[in-house]
Amino acid sequence: MTDVLRRGRASLAFAFFAQGAAFALLVTRIPAVQDRYGVSDALLPAFLAAVPILAGVGSVATERLVKRVRPSRVLRWSQPVVLLALLGAGAGGAGQVAALAVALGVFGLAVGALDASMNMLGVSLQRSYGRSIMLGFHAVYSLGGIVGASLAWAGAHWHLALWVSYLPVVAVLLPAVLLGSRWYVDGEPAPEREARADGGGAGGGAGGGVGFKLLLPLCLVMTFAYIGDSTVSNWSAKYLKDVLGGSEQLATVPYNVYMVTTLAGRAVGDLGVRRFGAVAVVRLGALIAAGGFAVVALAPGPWVGMLGFTLLGLGLCVLVPQTFAAAGRHAFEQHGPGASDAAIARLNIFNYVGFLIGSPLVGALGDAWSYRGAMLVPMVLVLVTLGYARSFAAQPDRYGGGHERPRTADVGRGSNGL
């Protein structure tokens, strides 16, 4: 059992890494995509908004799909689709806007299914281990994002065509994720899932009876966290250059610093949860993130602003993984494994809600008021998280002392085994 879980954990970690790299390769090359296809500035926001909207649709579909199909199977086939859609987005040319729309549409739908199923498996593995490991998966996602952003920078620096930048990455990651998917560990054996789909079992019916009241505080925390994250990803460079007077070269640094500190915070975050409990870690993360926004808003110059973005990475990094873990844990305790999967799929939608709200919100406030004042809005929203911190409490309030609990786990063994 221990070897099964270890292989499952390693293969799922690689899936998180591959997704982080693929997503970074797309979002960091948006200007190049726009130039290649000749997408107008007026049309570009519609393309960018369509991806998270369709990802939300994909997440909703996954909630229904996993009533009959294991999350490991959804992840196994959605991840290659994401990689191929990434390659498709870079393969077109001038005037082929319809082809771009199809590629981004497929990317969005598959990303929703991938994000939901990936976190379902992460939460079920954490339950099997009996201790916090969820932050580690998201740390590997951050590492993938850093690698993807670095490869995107190299492609832009050497003026490589998009498909030339994307093809080697897809050629390496695609067979690797298919191979690794053989060892994914599902949290619920197939017979139980099939019985539940037919109306039996503890989680039967529509998503195992997960109530909106149970998820509402966690949905708000997820939304606020992604409003903060999208503020950094979309506005940090402009803010450092136009508001704080940094050079154009220096303006590229804040997001990189944010990504590195996000990786560092997540790499040690599980230890904090095991030692102090999820509630304390979430509270500390919210306070650090709010302090980071305050420093950014009040910074007299670019270097102090850089300190603020560093604090933001250390603070925001713990909120999303712990929100997924808390939703899965509470739903499982009340209704069983099927409810855990449904809760994570529903919660995942608010990832995209926050992403859609964050960038336009800060931009509108910045234009109408000031960008310094706009930075105070995500600060206040993150502070609201403190009021919902008790929603992260486990029973007991922390995972155990590092010992695994024996528990039935189901391992995907290729397409014939599923």
Residue 373 has pLDDT above 70, yes or no: yes
The answer to whether 227 and 354 are in contact (CB under 8 A) is yes
What pTM, to 2 d.p., does this model score? 0.88
Burial class (CB in 10 A: 0-12, 13-18, 19+), 348: buried
Give the C-alpha separation, 375 to 61, whole Å. 35
Which amino acid does the sequence have at 113? A
Residue 194 has pLDDT above 70, yes or no: no
| Mean pLDDT, residues 183-198 | 61
| Mean pLDDT, residues 319-335 | 93
Residue 209 has pLDDT above 80, yes or no: no
Q: Which residue would you say has higher pLDDT here, 381 or 210?
A: 381
Residue-level pLDDT at 156 = 86
∠ CA(278), CA(344), CA(178), 5° rounding? 110
Give 208's contacts (C-beta < 8 A, 6+ positions apart): 196, 202, 331, 335, 336, 338, 339, 340, 341, 342
Select from 271, 382, 355 the least CA-distant residue to 48: 355
Over residues 253-306, the pLDDT tens digits come to 888 899 999 999 999 999 999 999 999 999 999 999 999 999 999 999 999 999
- Residue 89 parent element (H or E): helix 71-91
Over residues 26-42, the pLDDT tens digits come to 988 888 898 899 988 88
Name the percent of the chain lying above pLDDT 70.
88
Q: Which residue would you say has higher pLDDT here, 34 or 224?
A: 224
Residue 110 has pLDDT above 80, yes or no: yes
Reduce the DSSP state of residue 116 to 3 states and report it: helix
**C-alpha distance across the termini of the chain, in Å:** 19
**What are the backbone angles phi and psi of residue 185, rounded to the nearest 5°?**
-115, 120
Q: Would you place residue 248 in the very low, low, confident or very high pLDDT band (cuts 50, 70, 90)?
A: confident
Using CA atoms of 173, 176, 182, 184 in order, give the dihedral in degrees to the nearest 10: -50
Q: Would you place residue 2 in the very low, low, confident or very high pLDDT band (cuts 50, 70, 90)?
A: confident
Task: Please give the domain boundaries of the chain with CATH numbers for all domains.
Answer: 2-394+409-417 (1.20.1250.20)
